[in-house]
Structure 1
Amino acid sequence: MIAVLLLSSPVILDGIARASGAALPSFNKKLAQQTLPGLDTVPDTVPNQKSPLQDSLIRQRIKMAQADSAAIVDSIPSIDSLGPRPNDTLNLAKISNDSLEAPIFFKVKDSSVTYIKRKEVYMYGSADVKYKEIAVTGDRMQIDQERGLLKVTPSIDSAGKKTGLPVFSDGSQTTDQDSIVYSITSQKALIYNTRAQYGEGYIVSQKVKKAPDNTVFGFKNGYTTCNLDTPHFAFRARKIKVIPNKLIISGPANLEIQGIPTPLYIPFAIFPITSGQRSGILVPQYTVNQQKGIGLENGGYYIGLGEYLDLTVRGNVYSYGSWGTTFSPTYRKRYRYNGGLNISLANTRFGDPEVKEDFSVSRDFNVTWNHSMDSKARPGTNFSANVHFGTSNYNSYNVTDYQTRLNNILTSSIAYSKSWQGKPYNLTLSLNHSQNNATRDVTITAPEAAFTVNTIYPFQRDGGSGMGKWYEKIGISYTGNLRNTTTFKDSTFGKPAMWERLQTGMQHQIPLSFSIPLGKNFTLSPSVSYSEKWYTKRLNRTWNEDEYKIDTVYENGFYSMREVSTGMSVATALYGMYTFKKGSKVDAIRHVIRPTASISYKPDLAEQFYYNLRYDTGMNAIQRVSYFDGSVFGPPSAGTFGGVSFSIDNNLEMRMKSKKDSTGFKKVKLLDGFGINGSYNLVADSFNLSTFSIYARTNLFDKVNISANGTIDPYQLDSIGRRLDKYAWQGMGTTKLGRLTSMNVAISTSFQSQDKKSKEKEQQKDNIIENETTVPSWKRSAANWK
């Protein structure tokens, strides 16, 4: 490095002098004049490698240097006056004849040893070497600079197993092998026990010679399309030649199955190497199937149909006469959509055709289709499809994957959705399919549509400010649903029995609601709801006394039914607090009660759609049923309801002293919620009071969620278990609320990361809930609960 700096110092000085515009007193123009001619005498280190461009650049620099040296002032003291000097010329260092055209970059995990005199570098432990477009990795490497050779070998562990096998990459081609000897200067290579992929095929060679143009000559080779280290089959050839990105050519080849040579020989073989989208033959794979015999699978042809579409056709053929074929087109458009379709047909034979009793044929099909749309292609619009259907025996006879064969449920879904930006409209269209291969039941719902209008406030002023009038809070919305569904056995697909079971229905729902504050303590919420259902078929069931059964008949037509309900509710919140003595660890306990009472009325508009059905010969074997039981939206609700509904929700919290919290206190939720709800029908002739629903929920240690639900029947039972129109607390010697008819308890937990501000967000959420609820004036008793 020091020598390089000394040799380059005159050039640096010359550059400084020209940049500053002033003469340096210690600079001698004769030195520059004497050294410049020497540039032409420097021998070319790489014979016949100097280009005309390089020559012109050198002459240009000589002329510039001579011009600069002529302008130097003559008053500069001459170096000759300072005394004699041994030599006033500058001889540039010659470049070594064995130097490389580009630098070699390498890194090693363990260690490297460099022998300067021998010009050799040894690397140990996961070495990585890069030279131009060549990249080599391996466990042991040696670079011989004098001969221009790179040698790569694996390591041998204590068990005698090779580790750190070399990987050789030259541009886009990557190969695995045991060892490599690569000539850096000539770009030739000698590779042992290599395995490389060309197109859809693999070549395993005992010895390979690589030419500078990447042409490969292999010795003792095997060509296969099987991607296993030990392939099921291969064509064995003594000599083979690979022309990159074009052809694989071999001499006489022998088909080998499971490592065993067969009598099948071919005089030569030519395998094209495809890159990009090119049509061509897909080589089949050899297989042995106990049920179908010896066969070839997945052979076929690939057809490239352009940038957006292609088609793959594959087929299977077996020695026992079974066959199958699959058509797989795929399509794509960048930043728009992509998808693919698979249509598979299979013909499976069982037994010997000569024995008709044992011979059978199963003809099956299977169809899959998937489509996805880029969310940015059309904002507000989305279309997706995931379809899978076929015969129930296809997976059993034509699929070898364990999980796929055990899957008896096939489902399909096609959905389209659209939302109008800036408008409250939303539309969803879908098609759904479900198929059970075990029971052979198929359910198809197509089409299914839903159109919704979000809540709008038609009387609200544009740009209004302040509280506004009560009628400005009136909100109305709309939901419309259309559904066609049918359930049938797969053997009746497309037959009249499938269409006979088709049910069509449409439902409209229009709710109207608003809220009115009553003073500072209560909120009044009136509501009106209207719904209408349309059906094209109804179910008529009659008792057949002769055959002792129920006859079922579907009657076609147009049937419409309506339901109207109205109501009004009042809600408030009550706060109570119990404060402990000073010095107690528990500071206070707060109890929040949120009672809600409502009155509603629903007239009976569905009486004509119900009738009495006898289901047995007994005296009481009569049941009230509807013509629309089992319909897509269900029958309309029967009976008149005019009554009162009530619910009481409670919340219990405890505040404790804590040194960890900045406020000095921490809150502990004892019960997140517990309460009861029910209703009383004022117009019913009996059993006016409904059952009571009770519930409770809490959270332990902010980790375990516990919830409990139950139902209480307020009526008594007779000796045989029938309900009596008599309350439970009216019984002799009892004050019970009722009978607990059902009860369930659930415990759950979840594990997730929690941000640092989650507690603050939870506190803000609780405060918002409290502020949105209208509370009475005695809320001041809870004012300190912060």
Structure 2
Amino acid sequence: MSSSYKNNYKKFLRQTYLAFAGVVIAVPFIIDASGGARPHASPTFNKTLADTVPARKDTVPPKVPKVTSKPGADTNVVSKDQDTSKEVTVDTVFIPKVSKDTLDAPVTYKAKDSIILMVPDKQFYLYGSANTKYKTIDLSAEKMNFDQNTGVLQATNAKDTAGKIIGRPVMNDGGQSFESDTLKYNFTSQKAKIYNTRSQYGEGYVHSELTKKASDNTIFGFKNGYTTCNLDTPHFSFRARKIKVIPDKLIISGPANLEIMGIPTPLYIPFAIFPITQGQRSGILPPQYVMNQQKGMGLENGGYYIGLGEHMDLTLRGDVYSYGSWSLTASPTYRKRYKYNGGLNLSFANTRFGDPAVPSEFTKSRDFRITWNHSMDSKARPGVNFGASVNFGSSSYNRFNVFDYSTRVNNNIGSSVTFSKTWQGKPYNLTLGLNHSQNLATRDVSISFPDGTFTVNTIYPFQPKEMVGTPKWYEKIGISYNGILRNQASFKDSLFGKQAMFNAMQSGMQHSIPVSFSIPVLKTLTFSPSVNYNEYWYTKKVFKKWNNNKRITDTSFGGVDTTYIPGFFTARDVTMSAALSTAVYGMYAFSKHSNIKAIRHVMRPTVSANYSPDFSSAYYYGYRYGKGDRDSMRISYFDGSIVGVPKAGTFGGLNFGLDNNLEMKVFSRKDTSGNHEKKVKLLDGFGITGSYNFVADSFKLSPFALYARTNLFDKVNISANATLNPYADDGRGHPVDKYVWQQGKFSLGRITTASVSLSTSFQSKDKKGQDKQKKIDSLENITNADAAMAAQQRQLQMMRNNPGEYVDFDIPWRVDLSYSLSYTNQLIPDSGGVVKRVTQYVSFNGDFSLTPKWKVGLNSGFDFTNMQIAYTNMYISRDLHCWQMSINLIPFGTFRQFSITINPKAGILRDLRINRSRQFYDF
């Protein structure tokens, strides 16, 4: 209905009502037009609009006269009581007849501008933000009209005064959404015809020139485009003439052509199937085409996903290459809500490099890798916890099957499986574990199993059950227990499972029983005496002997012969101590006009007297490690034991330490309090520790240990450690019983070890930080959010391989810096003298946005020890709205690489990626 006709019809009604004095008649019509769906009082009106306003029973039935009948009368309305001859009266209700074409559910409608009913033509019109609801259908549009004769509702858009289209029809039906120019819906058949529509299914959008919706919600489209771009004019789409949508299952099309920016490409596919199911579904995982210089052309990551129910699933993936290499990976995951979840990854690979006809250029390797992750909900069994993080495999797996540089240069992998139990209401704690470490470069493997720790928390045997008044000193005496069991084997990976592995097994156990208590002294001091008893159990003795005739190289002789003596051996030591500790505060206040208000210095000195008798005479022997007269020392028969060894000699002396903290108060306008002050930490802690042995015949003063740590401006983390030997040496590294400061040097001693590390991070403000945090919080609230653990591991691996594909364009720039320096100057007995080592390394990574859509990043470092650039990865990323392009370059090192990747952002099209990689190997 045009606007002019709309206005003429209003004028015609007004003139008609005035001519026939129709005010009384017009009022009921106006009320019905703006009210809800309900039957009219006039039977004629109800018959006319039976389809749009279905009849229903009144909540209060109309009153009708009572009908009575005598016994024996010919009627079914009245019956006679069997016990009496009294008449029974029955009320009769007359229900209005319902039209045959009445709908089976009510229709509610509204409009912002006006609603017009044309009774003779059985039509009504809605103008201005019209909305109609019927069952699960919710339809909104600028204009609507309904024809009762055909049962068809038509919705269209309109143009505003500027000529802009507004109020496009949008229909939501059971989770499906359709946005179009014109929509026609038949209430009787529940079919719809939609013109120039865009509908959304999960991450995908379907654009169709003409769409037909069947009564079972199946969609048939003509001249369609499927895309994951949310723009009205998408950047790319798969164009297909015909398409069918099965709700909550599939989108199926015939031959389709990929268009980019509306331009057809040579890429055609014979058919397309896009899943739109929700929840767990089994299906094929399409492979990715790659080109590898060593393995040839190949298909990677193809396989099958098997959904095994709510608690388990299985992913099978494989790789195959034209030169004969292949690999298989099985990744089952399991979960039980509020109980546990985990995932296993089993990989087997057969690698063939080069031509078998040329043995010098041919390489063949069979490798495996096993990873397992398991975590337990802390609420499942209070007091019990079990967790696992296993990473174990052959040493050459990374060399032939991993092309990520950072992973390949990481030669250390490890595993940990732990079980712990805490007895509720009791002071007992038990921990059992398995640990594994492996060096892929040297092929050294270390396995610790079983490892166990049993502890008894401090108990107070002299403390009464009910404390009354001030406790006595002996009531504060506490006793505890700590037992450690260790079993460890170190061997080459080629000896795994063989007798040599079991011969290398070391076992030991340590028992520790400390007794201690603390009481205040003179209000400012704390006195803490204690006694600690340690017992060591061993299953093997180690005896080393220097052999001058042992050939080391073709021209060098001299080495160590090692003998292992199995058996059961024990050792023990006792330490008695009494400690005093306190805290001293110092404050320096500045003038009132200074920005620095005050500086506070806190010192925490500790002094303890210790005595340990010498039980080591049976546990130590003289060991010569070189040809020189002074190349000897005393070592223990249990040297290198995994549970430790008792200290040699008697100790009777003092242990001392001093810890310091330094902070200041500065003026701050951001402080809302009246003081306008802010605390700034200058040093979180710095101090020195050492000891002095009064009963030793020489070298009574121990080396000093110095440390410092701080966090400047909440940005720069700094930590430093050093060890000072107060005794001078003879030039070959052997200490002499003479202090360094006695030689005229102003120093506490010689630096034997030192390390310094600094790290900082700067970044601009995240434009969408609050929205991202809300999304993270919502994911954390999902109980089994880590159900797809294997998929997350693959995603993490892809992030390492291609950091340019996972950049955050909402952060304009970011810089991370770290620096480390370490120094050692120690006497290494088996090396024949003093060894000095200096390592210095700086690493930096960051990115910045050239434009809001272009980002450049760099991960690199510099090794000052070898004076060479460390692993460097440069990348450029371009945000293409629904696509992303990344260029990755590793310009230095053995595994140089260049790659360019263009891929959609949507997860449903993650396998649709264009990748060109080239690797440069220097063998």
Is TM-score (shorter-chain normalized) higher than 0.5? yes
Aligned positions of 1:449-464 closer than 5 A: 449-464=452-467
Which secondary structure state, in structure 1, belongs to the residue aligned with residue 416 of structure 2? strand
User: Is the CA contact (8 Å cut-off) linking 2:680 and 2:713 kept in structure 1?
Assistant: no
1:183 correspondence with 2:193? no
Give the Cα–Cα distance (whole angstroms) in 2 for the partners of residues 203 and 563 of structure 1: 79
Would you say the 8 A contact 1:153–1:166 is kept in 2?
no
CA contact (8 A) 1:196 1:204 kept: no
Q: 1:201 to 1:545 in 2, by over 3 A?
A: farther
For 2:694 and 2:356, the matched residues in 1 are separated by: 77
User: Do the aligned residues in 2 keep the contact of 1:194 with 1:207 (CA within 8 Å)?
Assistant: no
Counterpart Cα distance in 1 of 2:287 and 2:373: 27
- Structure having greater relative contact order (Cα 8 Å, sep ≥ 6): 2
Residue 304 of structure 1: CA displacement?
4.2
1:432 Cα deviation (Å)?
A: 2.5
Give the alignment partner of residue 692 of structure 2, picking from 680, 698, 709: 680
Instruction: After superposition, give the CA deviation of every residue in 1:173-215 in whole Å (9 maximum; x if it has no partner).
Output: 568x9x66532445424466979769x9999988654323222
The residue type paired with residue 652 of structure 2 is G
1:290 aligned to 2:292?
yes
Deviates more, 1:320-329 or 1:397-406: 397-406
Identify which range, 641-650 or 652-661, moves more after superposition. 652-661
Matched, 1:632 2:636: no
TM-score, structure 1 length as denominator?
Answer: 0.66
1:268-291 per-position Cα deviation (integer Å, ceiling 9, x unaligned) = x9999866556x542533523335
- Structure 1 residue 44 displacement after superposition: 2.9
Match of 1:43 among 43, 46, 49: 46
Percent identity between the aligned chains? 53
Partner of residue 63, structure 1: 63
Counterpart of 1:29 in structure 2 is: none
1:156-175 matches, cutoff 5 A? 170-173=173-176
Give the Cα separation in 2 of the matches to 1:656 and 1:6. 77
**Residues in 2 aligned to 1:409 and 1:465: alpha-carbon distance in whole angstroms:** 58
Residue 351 of structure 2 corresponds to which residue in structure 1? 348
Kept in 1: contact 2:683–2:711 (CA 8 A): yes
Structure 2 counterpart of 1:491, one-letter code: S
- The 2-side partners of 1:624 and 1:668 are apart by 50
CA distance in 2, matches of 1:165, 1:635: 83
2:614 is aligned, of 585, 604, 616, to 604
**741-750 vs 285-294, which moves further:** 741-750
What is the CA–CA distance in structure 2 between the aligned matches of 1:399 and 1:202, rounded to whole Å?
A: 37
Give the counterpart letter for 2:58 in structure 1: L
**Residues 103 and 473 of structure 1, relative CA distance in 2, 3 Å threshold:** same
Report deviation, 1:379. 1.5
Q: CA deviation at 1:562?
A: 0.8
User: 1:491 and 2:503 equivalent?
Assistant: no
Distance 1:321 1:513, change over 3 A: same
Q: 1:191 to 1:392 in 2, by over 3 A?
A: farther
> What is the root-mean-square deviation in Å for CA atoms of aligned residues?
5.9
Residue 313 of structure 1, CA deviation: 3.2
Q: Find the aligned partners of 2:404 and 2:594 in 1 and give their Cα distance.
A: 67
Counterpart CA distance in 1 for 2:246 and 2:394 is 46
Report the counterpart of residue 887 of structure 2 in structure 1: none
Unaligned runs of 5+ in 2: 1-22, 33-38, 67-101, 118-123, 147-151, 160-166, 229-233, 552-556, 763-923
CA distance, structure 1, for counterparts of residue 428 and residue 622 of structure 2 = 43
Match of 2:567 in 1: 557
1:672 Cα deviation after fit: 8.3
Cα distance, 1:529 vs. partner?
A: 0.6
Whole-angstrom CA distance in 2 between matches of 1:671 and 1:294? 58
Distance 1:353 1:656, change over 3 A: closer
Higher mean displacement: 615-624 or 460-469? 615-624
| Count of residues in Structure 1 that have an aligned counterpart in Structure 2 | 662
Equivalent residue, structure 1, for 2:841: none
2:579 to 569, 581, 594: 569
Equivalent AA in structure 2 for residue 685 of structure 1: D
Contact 2:176/2:199 (CA < 8 Å) preserved in 1? no
Hey, what's the Cα distance between the residues in 2 that align with 1:460 and 1:491?
A: 58
Deviation at 1:243, TM superposition (A): 3.9
Task: Specify every segment of 5 or more residues in structure 1 that has no aligned partner in the other structure, as ranges.
Answer: 12-35, 68-96, 107-111, 155-163, 752-786
CA distance in 1, matches of 2:491, 2:656: 45
For the 8 Å contact 1:586–1:656, the answer to whether it is kept is: yes
8 Å Cα contact 1:475/1:513 also seen in 2: yes
Match of 2:515 in 1: 512
Matching of residues 160-559 of structure 1 within 5 Å: 170-173=173-176, 181-185=182-186, 186-190=190-194, 208-218=211-221, 239=242, 241-244=244-247, 280-291=282-293, 292-353=295-356, 358-398=361-401, 408-516=411-519, 523-546=526-549, 547=551, 548=557, 549-559=559-569
Q: CA deviation at 1:458?
A: 0.7
The 5-angstrom pairing of residues 683-702 of structure 1 reads: 683-691=695-703
Moved more, 558-567 or 360-369: 360-369
Letter matched to residue 529 of structure 2: P
Confirm or deny: 8 A CA contact 1:522 1:572 kept in the other structure: yes
Q: Write the mapping of 1:88-167 to structure 2, written as runs, cut at 5 A.
A: 102-103=107-108, 133=136, 143-145=143-145, 148-150=153-155
What is the letter of the counterpart of residue 61 of structure 1? Answer: P
Take 1:231 and 1:364, find their aligned partners in 2: how far apart are those partners? 42
Decide which structure has the larger Cα Rg and report it.
1
SS at match of 2:58: helix
* SS of aligned partner of 1:506: strand
- The residue that corresponds to 1:27 in the other structure is none
Partner-residue secondary structure (3-state), 1:620? coil
Aligned residues of 1:44 and 1:50 also touching (Cα < 8 A): no
| Cα distance change of structure 1 residues 649 and 369 upon mapping to structure 2, 3 Å threshold | closer
Matched AA of 1:605: F
* TM-score, normalised by the number of residues in structure 2: 0.57
- In 2, the alpha carbon distance for the partners of 1:132 and 1:402 equals 59
The answer (yes or no) to whether the contact 2:108–2:132 under 8 Å persists in 1 is no
* Contact persistence 2:110–2:126 (CA under 8 A): no
Residue aligned with 1:600, SS: strand
- Relative to structure 1, is the Cα distance of residues 653 and 342 closer, same or farther in structure 2, using a 3 angstrom cutoff? closer
Asked if the contact 1:503/1:537 (under 8 Å) is kept, the reply is: yes
Q: Is the 8 A contact 2:434 2:451 kept in 1?
A: yes
- Please give the secondary structure, in 2, of the residue aligned with 1:619: coil
Query: 1:56-107: per-residue Cα shift (whole Å, max 9, x none)?
Result: 438x53338x99xxxxxxxxxxxxxxxxxxxxxxxxxxxxx99x9645799x
Distance 1:275 1:704 in 2: 47
Mean Cα deviation higher: 423-432 or 290-299:
290-299
CA distance in 1, matches of 2:359, 2:593: 96
1:348-388 alpha-carbon deviations (Å, 9 max, x no partner): 33334555554443322222222222221111222222223
Give the Å deviation of 1:307: 3.7
1:211-249 residue CA offsets vs partner (Å, 9 max, x unmatched): 232223355789999xxx9999x9x98655444456777
After superposition, give the CA deviation of every residue in 1:254-280 in whole Å (9 maximum; x if it has no partner): 999996579x989xx9999866556x5
Distance 1:169 1:353, change over 3 A: farther
Tell me how far apart the structure 1 counterparts of residues 420 and 710 of structure 2 sit (CA, whole Å).
39
- Structure 1 counterpart SS, 2:47: coil
Q: Does structure 1 conserve the Cα–Cα contact (< 8 Å) formed by 2:531 and 2:576?
A: yes
8 Å CA contact 2:155–2:169 kept in 1: the answer is no
1:710/1:740 contact within 8 Å kept: no
For residue 498 of structure 1, give the secondary structure of its aligned residue in structure 2. Answer: helix
CA contact (8 A) 2:454 2:482 kept: yes
More deviation in 528-537 or 568-577? 568-577
Between the aligned partners of 2:327 and 2:588, the Cα distance in structure 1 is: 79
The aligned amino acid for 1:372 is S
Q: Distance in 1 between matches of 2:325 and 2:590?
A: 85
Is this contact kept in 1: 2:613–2:651, CA < 8 A?
Answer: yes
In structure 2, the CA distance between the partners of 1:450 and 1:718, relative to structure 1 (3 Å rule), is closer
